[in-house]
């Protein structure tokens, strides 16, 4: 029921120091909406052509991509947000940053002129995704509500960051917005203990941040990650009947991408567990657990070793395997 067509390239910008310069140019399928234009924005540039970008072509700083009818991925450098135009207005996940949110507001106005911002939703409390709500409120109204999982509330109140205000309402297990056009799901602890997964049933589309992505290693040494809870959370994600999924980083994916992510963490756990049981130190484990089946994944060169070290620490901490 969703018509797709091949479209232009998306690649991580080389201007982002956290993005390796050898990031591959990636192609995604986008929804074509009759005569409307699927590519709805490019920061300061022309619409991407059907040719992959050459190595010398820096991708635009931001990009708004229609991923389903009325649903948009807003990418700012290496971070993705999602916003949806619903019967009750626009719902916007993750302002990303003060600077990003100013452009985010412009992009919402451009693709949905005249629409109200019905709510802001935090995928989780981490500042690199959630900062900037007040900028959106300055653009759309100071009383725009902010929704988040309950566990996001306390850390945000304690941090008292004016650029990252706490939610105005929270949920525990699930929350429905826009009369059910958007669902929020809590799947347990994963990358943090407050991840809200968005699901748009009419579009078979999900938005999940930081605990899953498409063929990409987990962030650095997985310090904030909860194992073995991660396995349950990813399995829970797969129980949601999405077909397309937008991630907090990198290109969109499908169910197979999430299954690969789950397999990766299972393989990492098993490999490091074997090294621990053989008595290997963290350094020895980092030198021998090379996860070569994943050498083609994004961030292999800089995060493979850190993922292995992080898992080793988790498995050797008190209450091995249950550590935070």
Residues that bind Zn ion (CB under 5 A): 126, 210
Rounded to a whole number of angstroms, the minimum distance from the CB of residue 48 to Zn ion is 28
Measured from the CB atom, the residue of 7 and 131 that comes closer to Zn ion is 131
Measured from the CB atom, the residue of 30 and 208 that comes closer to Zn ion is 208
Number of Cβ atoms within 10 Å of the Cβ of 116: 12
**Pairwise CA distance, residues 43 & 64, whole Å:** 9
| Sequence-distant (≥ 6) Cβ neighbours of residue 317 within 8 angstroms | 323
Q: By Cβ distance, which residue is nearest to Zn ion?
A: 126
Nearest residue to 96 (alpha-carbon basis) of 144, 68, 63: 63
Measured from the CB atom, the residue of 152 and 275 that comes closer to Zn ion is 152
**Are 117 and 92 in contact, with CB atoms under 8 Å apart?**
yes
Rounded to a whole number of angstroms, the minimum distance from the CB of residue 295 to Zn ion is 25
Nearest residue to 218 (alpha-carbon basis) of 202, 236, 230: 230
Rounded to a whole number of angstroms, the minimum distance from the CB of residue 192 to Zn ion is 6
Rounded to a whole number of angstroms, the minimum distance from the CB of residue 163 to Zn ion is 16
**Pairwise CA distance, residues 214 & 254, whole Å:** 8
**Pairwise CA distance, residues 116 & 237, whole Å:** 30
**Pairwise CA distance, residues 229 & 226, whole Å:** 6
**Structure tokens that stand for 54 in this block:** 């050459």
Measured from the CB atom, the residue of 66 and 94 that comes closer to Zn ion is 94
**Pairwise CA distance, residues 175 & 191, whole Å:** 20
Rounded to a whole number of angstroms, the minimum distance from the CB of residue 304 to Zn ion is 19
Rounded to a whole number of angstroms, the minimum distance from the CB of residue 130 to Zn ion is 9
Measured from the CB atom, the residue of 126 and 189 that comes closer to Zn ion is 126
Nearest residue to 124 (alpha-carbon basis) of 81, 176, 71, 182: 81
**Pairwise CA distance, residues 38 & 48, whole Å:** 11
Rounded to a whole number of angstroms, the minimum distance from the CB of residue 84 to Zn ion is 21
Measured from the CB atom, the residue of 105 and 212 that comes closer to Zn ion is 212
Measured from the CB atom, the residue of 126 and 214 that comes closer to Zn ion is 126
């Amino acid at each position: 029921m969703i018509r797709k067509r091949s479209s232009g390239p998306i690649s991580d910008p080389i201007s982002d120091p956290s993005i390796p310069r050898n990031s591959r140019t990636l192609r995604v399928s986008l929804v074509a909406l009759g005569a409307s234009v699927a590519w709805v924005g490019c920061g300061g540039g022309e619409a991407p052509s059907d040719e992959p970008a050459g190595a010398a072509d820096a991708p635009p700083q931001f990009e708004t991509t229609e991923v389903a009818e009325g649903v948009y991925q807003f990418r700012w450098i290496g971070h993705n947000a999602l916003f949806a135009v619903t019967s009750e207005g626009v719902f916007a996940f993750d302002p990303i940053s003060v600077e990003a949110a100013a452009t985010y507001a412009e992009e919402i106005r451009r693709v949905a002129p005249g629409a109200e911002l019905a709510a802001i939703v935090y995928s989780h409390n981490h500042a690199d995704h959630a900062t900037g709500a007040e900028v959106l409120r300055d653009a759309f109204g100071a009383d725009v509500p902010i929704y988040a999982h309950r566990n996001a509330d306390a850390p945000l109140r304690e941090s008292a960051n004016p650029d990252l205000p706490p939610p105005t309402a929270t949920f525990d297990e699930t929350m429905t917005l826009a009369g059910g056009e958007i669902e929020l799901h809590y799947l347990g602890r994963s990358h943090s203990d407050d991840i809200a997964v968005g699901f748009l049933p009419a579009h078979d589309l999900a938005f999940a941040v930081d605990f899953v992505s498409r063929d990409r290693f987990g962030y650095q040494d997985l310090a904030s990650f909860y194992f073995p809870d991660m396995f349950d959370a990813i399995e829970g994600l797969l129980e949601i009947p999405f077909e397309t999924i937008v991630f907090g980083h990198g290109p969109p994916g499908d169910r197979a991408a999430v299954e690969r992510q789950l397999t990766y963490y299972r393989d990492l756990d098993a490999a490091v567990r074997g090294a621990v049981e053989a008595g290997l130190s963290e350094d020895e484990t980092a030198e021998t657990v090379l996860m070569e089946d994943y050498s083609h994944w994004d961030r292999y060169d800089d995060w493979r070793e850190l993922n292995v070290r992080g898992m080793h620490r988790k498995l050797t901490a008190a209450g091995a395997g249950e550590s935070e």
